[in-house]
Amino acid sequence: MVRWSPSATNKQPWRIVVDGKNVHFFEHKTRGYARESTGDIQKVDLGIAACHFEIAARGSGIEGTFRKCDPGIPAPDGADYITTYAMEASPLEG
């Protein structure tokens, strides 16, 4: 759902882990980006990717909410945790 999301210099700095009904977003930092005068532009990239994910999820009938909570799982590739999309039960699940 986020594969085609735009990002600064086409780095796609996100790592996503699906854990049951939770989709965890992590930032895989590229060295030097946080020192730019604009700040950590890769956090903006994560926001764009999360937005694309939510639009695609809702378009597929998957409702949910973004939450910031400890996912309790190891971060992929030493990435930093950003947010979690908690999917709600689908109408078919009762």
21 vs 60: CA distance, rounded Å: 15
**pLDDT for 30-87, tens place per residue?**
776 666 676 788 888 999 999 999 999 999 999 999 999 999 999 988 799 999 999 9
Go through the domains of the chain in sequence order and give each one's CATH number: 8-93 (3.40.109)
pLDDT of residue 78: 77
Q: What phi and psi, each to the nearest 5 degrees, are found at residue 68?
A: -105, 110
34 vs 23: CA distance, rounded Å: 25
pLDDT of residue 31: 75
* Helices and strands in the chain: count of H runs, count of E runs: 1, 4
Which pTM does this prediction carry? 0.84
Cα radius of gyration (the chain): 14
